[in-house]
Amino acid sequence: MLDYFAHDEPRPAPFNAADLKPEHAKAIGAFLGERVKDLRAKHPSGSPEERAARTLKEAVGTRLDALNECFEDEEPETLQARTTAWNRLVFIVWP
């Protein structure tokens, strides 16, 4: 049987948008921040690898900012925005 390419698309999360908390966004940011810091330390400033790490940090930071704006209440519109923001973030960090 062919193995499904798990790296192509994230599996459905075992929770929904109402379960997401600011701590989840903070944890992803901290995890990725450490990986980017390590990568940047291993490559000279301005190298393609260092620039790619900076780009990833900025892309994730933008998505984290969008997600963090969606925790003010539990209204249906806010939950939908939170789900959208979370999905966009996950598709960047999934690989």
- Is 93 within 8 Å of 28 (Cβ atoms)? yes
pLDDT digits (tens, 9 = 90+) for 61-85: 999 999 999 999 989 999 999 999 9
SS3 38: helix
In Å, what is the CA distance from 16 to each residue of 21, 34, 82, 86? 11, 27, 10, 10
Residue 46 has pLDDT above 50, yes or no: yes
pLDDT of residue 19: 86
- Structure-token pair, residue 7: 């790296």
Residue 92 has pLDDT above 90, yes or no: no
Tell me the pTM. Answer: 0.75
